[in-house]
């Protein structure tokens, strides 16, 4: 089975860099510094022309994943925007106040996303019982779960990720993400058995005008950006792993 490399981006330039670097799939966001929020309709429309599948993050605000009825209605409309833009899928998540997946809300959102692919995002990493959450995700019909194994970095939770991959079997894909780089991707794939991997590859930088920083329009004078070279190196690492594995 070919291993898929998914790259998350939050700008048109990042989208172009990920495609040029050989990404198999794009997770399209805004505000990656906040963990990713819903991208603008304009960015969605631009990404709808991409030569690879693009999944839009559907997350209306920063913070936790316990959403109000108004926010859920907003998410439904954002799913509509992704469909109109011609994107392949959406990335969803919703929690109950104590961290369990909110299966009722997710049932409504996945149903609203009919005919679009669906990824369960890292709301999964907040659940008290990942095995229960895995079964919930399968029952709801998600294609995959993006997870760091409930650690800050996927590489710090390889045994748990391997266990999830084994329990998931062919029912749903477990996609390790968070802190994935060309230098550790081979270890993550080898020790987990995953068939997909997720990374940002933000190793390039963008210079911001000092005046913009001074007036509060940017948090710093140098901001991270998606690197085509880093994406290319990650893809090459994954393809070499496939070749060696046979």
CATH number, residue 25 = 3.20.20.380
Cα separation, 192 vs 70, in Å, equals 39
Tell whether 215 is covered by a domain.
no
Q: Please check whether residue 94 is in contact with residue 65, taking contact to mean a CB–CB distance below 8 angstroms.
A: yes
pLDDT above 90 (res 124): yes
pLDDT above 80 (res 136): yes
If pLDDT is split at 50, 70 and 90, which confidence band does 216 have? Answer: confident
Tell whether 21 is covered by a domain.
yes
Give the count of domains, the chain: 1
Tell whether 237 is covered by a domain.
yes
Handedness of CA 92, 95, 100, 106 (dihedral sign): negative
Eight-class DSSP state of 137: H
17-64 pLDDT per residue, tens: 999 999 999 999 999 989 999 999 999 999 999 999 999 999 999 999
- Residue with the bigger pLDDT between 44 and 205: it is 44
pLDDT of residue 217: 86
pLDDT of residue 166: 98
Tell whether 99 is covered by a domain.
yes
Buried b (16+ CB within 10 A) or exposed e, 8-43: bbbbeebbebbbebbbbbbbbbbebeeebbbbeeeb
Tell whether 206 is covered by a domain.
no
If pLDDT is split at 50, 70 and 90, which confidence band does 75 have? Answer: very high
Tell whether 107 is covered by a domain.
yes
Tell whether 214 is covered by a domain.
no
pLDDT of residue 245: 86
pLDDT of residue 48: 97
Print the domain residue range for 185: 4-201+230-245
Mean residue pLDDT across the chain: 96
Cα separation, 179 vs 57, in Å, equals 19
**Pairing assessment for the beta strands 204-207 and 4-9 based on DSSP bridges:** unpaired
Tell whether 218 is covered by a domain.
no
88-100 pLDDT per residue, tens: 999 999 999 989 9
pLDDT above 90 (res 202): yes
């Amino acid at each position: 089975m070919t291993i898929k490399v998914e790259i998350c981006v939050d700008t048109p330039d990042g989208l172009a860099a990920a495609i040029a670097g050989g990404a198999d799939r794009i997770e399209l966001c805004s505000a990656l510094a906040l963990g990713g929020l819903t991208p603008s309709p304009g960015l969605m429309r631009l990404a709808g022309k991409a030569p690879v599948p693009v999944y839009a993050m559907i997350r209306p605000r920063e913070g936790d994943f316990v959403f109000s009825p108004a926010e859920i209605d907003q998410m439904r409309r954002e799913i509509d925007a992704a469909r109109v833009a011609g994107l392949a899928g959406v990335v969803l998540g919703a929690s109950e106040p104590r961290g369990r997946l909110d299966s009722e809300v997710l049932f409504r959102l996945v149903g609203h996303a009919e005919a679009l692919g669906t990824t369960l995002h890292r709301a999964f990493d907040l659940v008290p019982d990942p095995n229960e959450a895995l079964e919930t995700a399968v029952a709801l019909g998600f294609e995959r779960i993006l997870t760091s194994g409930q650690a800050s970095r996927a590489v710090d939770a390889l045994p748990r990720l391997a266990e999830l991959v084994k329990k998931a079997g062919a029912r749903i894909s477990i996609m390790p993400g968070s802190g994935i780089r060309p230098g550790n991707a081979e270890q993550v794939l080898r020790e987990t058995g995953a068939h997909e991997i997720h990374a940002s590859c933000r190793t390039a930088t963008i210079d911001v005008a000092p005046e913009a920083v001074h007036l509060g329009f940017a948090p710093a004078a140098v901001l991270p950006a998606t690197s085509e070279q880093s994406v290319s190196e990650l893809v090459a690492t994954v393809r070499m792993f496939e070749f060696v594995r046979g």
